[in-house]
Chains A and B, each alone.
Chain A
Amino acid sequence: MIRLSFFCVLVIGACSLNGCKGGDPKPQGEDFDRAGMLENLAKNIVGPSYASFEGALVDLQTALDAYRLDDSEGNVIALRDAFGQAYIAWQSCSPHEFGPAANLGFRLTVNTFPCDTARVHVLLSSESYDLKLATNAAAKGFPALDFILYKLNDARWAEPSVQAFIQANIDLIHDDLHAIQSEWNETYRDEFETNLGSDVGSALGTLVNAVNQDFELLKNANVGIPLGKKTLGETQAEKVEALYSGQSIPLLIFRLQAIKNVFEGGVGLGIDDQLDALGASYGEESLSKAITLGFDDAIEAAQLIDGSLHDAILDSPSDVENLHSKLQHLVVLLKTDMPSQLGVQITYQDNDGD
């Protein structure tokens, strides 16, 4: 009796499986090569972002060395220029704050702004210091270099303590980047490319959460807070990224492009292709198209802003409001429609299946 019923269940099960096979001739999502997407993202997006950042840091070091030998005007310009290029290269790494980078808190090391300039002055007059201490959290990285290279009287650049501070910051970032790259190449990249699920620890889940976190940070820290969104409309223009060099807008555009690049997978397979393979729609158009358009609109809104973000917040806030509302529109797509259609979990918590 027992065996017979068990057999029946197996037979029924087998029949229904066969039924599935015979049914739909053109299934959705069948052709999507998830492993291919992850390989593309690892090989052509994440890996290269670290490599170019590394190159930019080497150039920055070279420029600093050249300036130390000869403090000519040309070398000053070259040093500032190399710093600007490194800050741009960083923007492509910022959305990849997962795995080894997240373990080190790389973003906090490189780009915690606004800079605590009072603290920087304290460090400049100290014999020795540890930039990793919590008290120095806002007195290091690119925001600190931005202050040194564009705000501090350049007569002071000749001081050994100032040069040592620049060197210490380059070393700090460089060391972390090396650690991240070696872990990425040795173990993490393989784990990433073969973790094909959609749960929290999976590559896709990790990536989606990291990208969303970076995007929300961009919306809030880069635009919302300076615009006064957290202070009842009272603007805090001095809280923009790269306040002293006035590079906020180009940096922001590079960052948006970097996030878009992860979404599209560059010219290869990306999250957009997976959404298309799943047949995800947004009203009349495809969800991938809606998100791509959302990025383009936000980038265009940023390009429309004249001068530095700091000045625009004070002089033509409506342009910045416009950018903020484009970001707000996009964040909804990125945080609701996209993960939902991908079946990506946001937390480790058990659920009811809802």
Chain B
Amino acid sequence: MFVSIVRFYLNGWIETQFIEPGLHFKYFGFHWVPELTAFGYYFLFVLMALSALGIAFGVLYRFSALTFFLAFTYIELVDVTYYLNHYYFVSLVGLLLVFLPAHRAHSVDAWLGWTRRASYIPVGAINILKLQLGLVYVLAGIAKLNADWLLEAMPLAIWLPAQSHVPLIGELLTHKVTAYAFSWAGAAFDLAIPFILLSACWRWAGYSAVIAFHLLTWSFFQIGMFPFIMIGATLVFFSADFHSSLHAHIGLKLDKRPIPAKMISPVLQTSMIVFMVFQLVFPFRSIVYPGNALWTEQGYRFGWRVMLVEKAGYAQFKVVDKQGNELWVDNTDFLTPVQEKMLATQPDLLIQYAHHLRDHYQQLGVEDPSVTAEVHVTFNGRPSQPFIDPSIDLAALRDGWKAKHWILPLNDRKKG
């Protein structure tokens, strides 16, 4: 995580993503999250980096974990356009770590006697991490069980040929059948890997597959740190003996101590169960919305839907005054390229942007502005098509949990 934060800084993303944009998009229910000054963002990132080190070395562990979780989540909440499933994953694990006794051994805290030393940690603590990881894989696998992925090999059929310049296997990637093979293998991998890792006998094979799979995706796609996070995180599936011997290799020894009697309080236990049930159910909320969630993006986020869509959208916003005069908005006046790209395919962000435009032009003296948008989106190789009702006044809408009926249905006529 420390590496991740340093990478973020080195890429200049603190500057371009948080400080430069004049407008930030918020998560539904989190509009209150205040934006910070440049100093504030840098301060939070430093805090995050220090607390990540704190967790790793077990320095003031609980405090570090809590700080890390809060800082990381705060940064995420500032702008929804940067949403990534793996940031969400990091937040969740961060939250779990606050409650797990991961500092009882090989930690500075234990060494200094700030916490009770222990050679054992409750099996529940390990299992909940396994469960969280397993859920991510399985839910990502279930999300892949859709017609585009399985029957059209989309979007891999677009993405893989784009890599045809890669030495050795490049030529192979241009074959449609390769995209099918990758799609099916990917879905099978996601669905099966947690179970394979659970089996002692197959664990090494499974872990080799984890490494191979994530390195492959890392080399093909622009997905940042995620592959390495998963490669590291899945080590939790290995046995205690394995970790002890690993530690022994780097000169850390564990003195055998008796298993403590009281492990986890009932309150904590119950909250963990509630947390996991939520984790299990929340990703499926898209079922209650009409249409394909990959198209409408209703109930899309926090659903472990990774690698599922190739989308590009173009949104032409129009501000209309009381007399019906139209003003065409130039998005580059308000948005960064990332924001412009993300916004065009996400209905809730269209509403937020429309509200911003209404307020902006009202201040400039436009009377009773209404805001409409012609949005065209291309989705998994289909011809671009209108995404929302171009006559609806987006500024008059409020975002909410209710289905957005102004999203036009996906015209699924197969491409030629």
Contact = CB atoms under 8 A, between A and B. Distances in A.
A284 B413 CA distance: 10
B337 A341 contact: no
A199 B222 contact: yes
Contacts of A224: 328
Nearest to A21: B172
What size tier do the contact residues of chain A reach?
Answer: 35 or more
Contact of B384 (A198, A220, A336, A343): A336
B104 interface: no
A354 interface: yes
A266 interface: no
Contacts of B338: 347, 349
B212 A13 contact: yes
A23 B177 contact: yes
Given A5-B202, A332-B314, A230 B159 contact: no
Nearest to B380: A340
B325 A5 contact: no
Contacts of A6: 204-205, 208
Contact of A232 (B165, B178, B326): B326
Interface in A18-45: 19-21, 23-24, 27-30, 32, 34
Question: Chain B interface secondary structure, helix, strand, loop or mixed?
Answer: mixed
Interface string B1-43: 0000000000101000100000000000000000000000000
Contact of A34 (B82, B164, B316): B164
Contacts of B383: 281-283, 287, 337
Interface string A273-293: 000001011111111000000
B181 A352 contact: no
Contact of B376 (A287, A332, A341): A332
B200 to A, nearest CB: 10
B174 A30 contact: yes
Contacts of B142: none
Interface string A221-241: 000100001111110000000
B312 A336 contact: yes
Contacts of B366: 232
Interface string B158-191: 1101111100010110111110010001000000
A77 interface: no
B357 interface: no
Interface in A303-354: 328, 331-333, 335-337, 339-354
B328 to A, nearest CB: 4
B158 A340 contact: yes
B327 A229 contact: yes
Contacts of A229: 326-328
Contacts of B13: 349
B94 interface: no
The 5 closest A-B pairs by CB, nearest first: A343-B162, A350-B224, A196-B165, A353-B307, A5-B205
Given A333-B384, A340-B378, A352-B305, 9 more contacts: A5-B202, A24-B177, A30-B175, A197-B163, A232-B319, A233-B326, A283-B383, A336-B313, A343-B158
Interface of B: 11, 13, 17, 82-86, 158-159, 161-165, 169, 171-172, 174-178, 181, 185, 202, 204-205, 208-209, 212, 217, 221-226, 305-314, 316, 319, 321, 325-328, 330, 337-338, 341, 366, 376-378, 381, 383-384, 413, 415-416
